[in-house]
Amino acid sequence: MQIVSAEVVVTSPGRNFVTLRLTTEDGVVGLGDATLNGRELAVRSYLDDHVVPLLLGRDASRIEDTWQYLYRGAYWRRGPVTMAAVAAVDTALWDIKAQCAGMPLYQLLGGACRTGALAYGHASGRDVPELLDSVRAHLEQGYRAVRVQTGIPGFDSVYGVASSAAGGGERYDYEPARRAAGSAPRPAVETWDTRAYLRHLPAVFEAVRAEFGPELPLLHDGHHRMTPVQAARLGKDLEPYDLFWLEDATPAEDQAALRLIRQHTTTPLAIGEVFNSVHDYTTLLSERLIDYVRSAVTHAGGVTAMRKLLDLAAVYGVRSGMHGPTDISPVGMAAALHLDLAVHNFGIQEFMRHSEQTLEVFRTSYRFEDGLLHPSDTPGLGVELDVEAARRFPYRQAYLPVSRLRDGTVHDW
């Protein structure tokens, strides 16, 4: 079952996506998501110039061998560009294998452990009344769990708040990467003040709990913007509101920082959406410093690597919470859902609905029903790429916002 064609498709139906399309000599087509938000063309070049030539003529059934061949054979291992490219190949090969087997991917991974995957949506507002309206809207859509993000008094724009004004005033429900005003694409700039954020947030969760009661699972994303001491304080301050998790409380590269946070709060911790390898998690897992793994199939080496990571996490009682906003294409989302159904230590799945334009290009068969996501029983991933539709939406360069402190310093933590 040789690979006879490998095509990298870059399209922008409201936002940019990179998709690898592999075809075997028998005409079976497999898809893999290689989207890397703000650096899409780097992955396209990596695939076109360095990976595709190695795939032609290769046996599509040798998934593990191909993964190791691409990962070890390059000498330069890991990194987001490399691992997104490897992930696309790996996911496409699993798609092909499951289609050839005549079964949905989750069956090939061992079968279902649950009836569906609990999903959380993104509620946000510039102020508390707008946030409460957003939570209500998500509950009306069927969500059983909600991420809560809010504006901060005195700031025009806060990342994670869809109605923020930066980048020309457009909402970014479907596209978190924005373009600043003017013809030249540049990252939008947002002002940030962690102390103001820490003062404001506990009252926000008090208001949400007062309105919606104690049962609704609430999540919050810190977007890596706190020091370990600040994160420990926030986790402690939010304990009365019983969060499902506090995500990315501090920059994820410093694994040891989680020790200090863990010592001072019992709020569950989730981290890892910027990670791309199991090696990024070794300290966090072995010392039980987190409760949820946040990597995406798209960015962490594909189905093969993500399954191994989640199996290791299970040894330490850590659950999955895979990254799933709209910078994961429907192909990447479908791959995550098949894993969600198959792994024992599933926790929750992030789910942001894609735009109608995106769904013109990617024809999906998974569904969201009564708060749960269900991959279809279509053989393979259950997603088709309409190549002609993709060509109608050419690539448009975009960048995620840059945060600066009040003095103009680019914000780290």
Structure-block tokens of residue 285: 């897992």
H helices within 46-79, ranges in order? 52-55, 63-73
178 within 8 A of 170, measured Cβ to Cβ: yes
The verdict on whether 138 is a catalytic residue reads: no
User: Which sign does the torsion angle of CA 293, 304, 175, 189 carry?
Assistant: positive
Active-site option among 223, 316, 399, 411: 223
The owner of tokens 């809560």 is 148
Active-site option among 120, 159, 174, 292: 159
Neighbours of 370 (CB within 10 A): 9
334 within 8 A of 375, measured Cβ to Cβ: yes
Q: Three-class SS string for 337-373?
A: HHHHHHCCCECCEECCCCCHHHHHHEEECCEEECCEE
Q: Is 218 left (phi over 0), alpha (psi -120 to 50) or beta?
A: beta
231 within 8 A of 221, measured Cβ to Cβ: no
DSSP string, 145-186: EEEEEE--TT-S--TT-TT--TTTS---SS---B--SSSS--
The verdict on whether 374 is a catalytic residue reads: no
The alpha-carbon radius of gyration of the chain (Å, integer) is 21
By C-alpha distance, which of 317, 380, 381, 325 is closest to 358?
325
Q: Could you give the strand order of the β-sheet that contains 3-11, starting from the edge strand earlier in sequence?
A: 3-11, 17-24, 29-33
Active site residues: 159, 223
